Amino acid sequence: MRALIYPLNRAAIVGLAFLLMGLSACGFQLRGTNLEGILDTKIYVQSSGASVLAAEVKKQLIDAGVRPVSSTSDAEYIVTLSNEVFNTIVLAVSPSTGKAEEYQVSFVAMVKIDSTDGGSQATAEPVAATRDLTFDEGSVLGKVQEESVMKKEIAKQVAASVLRRLRAAIQ
């Protein structure tokens, strides 16, 4: 029995090695955050009514190897996040019961990226993301948990958008 399994494992390993070499040769690469160009930049993240987004932006900066500074006097760029709002609107209603069956969860915040060298002064621009959420009365607790997870994922998506804008402003 062992003689039958060993050649299959060897063949699988060799096949996997060729597959991985083929993927690396074609230029395939995971997208990632691509913040290599701003690793040495001193960035201060300021929040004015956008605590969820500010925390996520700081977390993503740290995960990418960029350490945000603790004061504006040390910063080269100031990222100001403000007015974050989660909205939930009803998209679909059951024709038989009249109860909501589908919602749209949206997140909007304002972002402003300023350079401290006296150069450009930016205006605040909105960043937003939306997702749809179905609702089922039979699994209320699960749907409440799903909405909470969805809000965290939306905040991650918007934070990634803020970092892309920051990278564009710096480069």
Average pLDDT over the chain reads 83
Q: In the predicted model, what is the mean pLDDT of residues 93-106?
A: 87
CB atoms within 10 A of CB 101: 15
CATH class of 31-170: alpha beta
Alpha helix stretches (DSSP H) within the chain: 2-25, 51-63, 140-170
Most confident of 31-45, 81-95, 129-143: 81-95
Q: In the predicted model, what is the mean pLDDT of residues 40-65?
A: 91
Residue 110: pLDDT above 90?
yes
Residue 2: pLDDT above 60?
no
Q: Pairing mode, if any, of strands 43-48 and 100-115?
A: unpaired
> What is d(CA 11, CA 29) in angstroms, rounded to the nearest whole number?
26
| pLDDT classification of 117: cutoffs 50, 70, 90 | confident
pTM to 2 decimals? 0.74
